[in-house]
Structure 1
């Protein structure tokens, strides 16, 4: 995107990496205080085939070292979205964290999305689990 020529495009940091690292395209350093969240621009937009989605996920190093993670994890970028990709970061750490221009802030993983048709039925088939939900199998 114009004005962000210095920001690297998403890139894998190793041959076997599943995610593409995303870089912050902030104009000025952005300070996230403990408990604060912010939408961080990445300086790029993308176009994908309809059978794909891009998922935005945290970077494990930022989460472990600083408590910085993505709030809606994984965030979904739909195939028909054409705006700038932005990352919703939150600081779960105890200290303020500064997001600098060009810093790696998240990763993007592409996933296939099957084309599904939902059908309404009056009754569901039975299973051993049934309606057992949260914590139904014990600790």
Structure 2
């Protein structure tokens, strides 16, 4: 049997901070700051199945969103689970709601992400991110 890998409380706090930083960047409409939470070569999949190329593609796509459909919105992001795979690698489940300027929830998403400790700084970055809009189960369940 393989020993279970765990993260330190500091590691978990740093991982939560990635989502907090994304929410702050979203509220500021700052696409570059938003994208800085992702690795340069992040494998990112949008809710529409698009795959922008790395951090630059994430920044460009969010810049468009922040100037158009999601201008003036906020992102309420919440990490719902972290599973350590190795001391430097973990999966993260997160839920987010985009809220309009008037406080109306516009869309909710769920994401599965892979986060990795960077060798250069020892901090964490998102290296894979798959975002989706959940659909209600048949029969309202």
Q: TM-score range by the shorter chain?
A: under 0.3
More helix by share: 2
Bigger-Rg structure (1/2): 1
**TM-score normalised by length of structure 2:** 0.27
**TM-score normalised by length of structure 1:** 0.27
More strand by share: 2
> Which gives a bigger RCO, structure 1 or 2 (Cα 8 Å, sep 6+)?
1
